[in-house]
Amino acid sequence: MHGAKQVVSELRNLLHEIESPTLAPDEREAGAVSHQSSERRHGERLWVHLPVLIYGRTIESEPFHEGTEALRVNAGGGLITLTSPVRCGQRLILINKVNHKERECYVVAERSKYLQRTAVVIGFQEPVPDFWSGTDDADSRVIAPPA
């Protein structure tokens, strides 16, 4: 388990680039959708380690589901890491494993790649202020306060 925590810590350090408003090369190809999404922030972004499930199809149209963690979130979406290949604009189903809420989301951008994981920015069609709220059973603290 120590290795997983180290990977998350290293990913967190690499993902500070998400704060940058500049577009990555793959976002330039996606056009205005990615740029507009980065301009429309829905509240303060919070650092979390929130377990989630993702369901979707790979870029080869193969169905997949993957357990991962949300790392940085707000009402408009969040930052997760995936091993499954996805593309900008792709629709996914996101399940918060803490509060069991389910929501359709879409891939806004891909960021850093590290140890076979890609940092993926996801967004909701409409802001969902209470999606990330919940209690972490491990230490009974509030993960993200409701808006």
Q: CA torsion angle for 87, 117, 112, 1 (degrees, to 10)?
A: 150
Whether 144 has a pLDDT exceeding 60, the answer reads: no
Angle at CA 139, nearest 5°, toward 117 and 128? 60
Residue that wins the pLDDT comparison between 49 and 41: 49
The percent of the chain in helix, strand and coil, each rounded to the nearest 5, is 20, 40, 35
Bridge-partner residues for 66, per DSSP? Answer: 54
For residues 109 and 77, the answer to whether their CB atoms sit within 8 Å is: no
| Domain-wise residue ranges, the chain | 2-127
Can you name the CATH fold of 2-127? Thrombin, subunit H (2.40.10)
Band the pLDDT of 60: cuts 50, 70, 90: confident
Whether 36 has a pLDDT exceeding 80, the answer reads: no
Q: What mean pLDDT do residues 63-90 have?
A: 95
Distance of alpha carbon 71 from alpha carbon 15, whole angstroms:
9
Q: What mean pLDDT do residues 76-82 have?
A: 96
Band the pLDDT of 30: cuts 50, 70, 90: very low
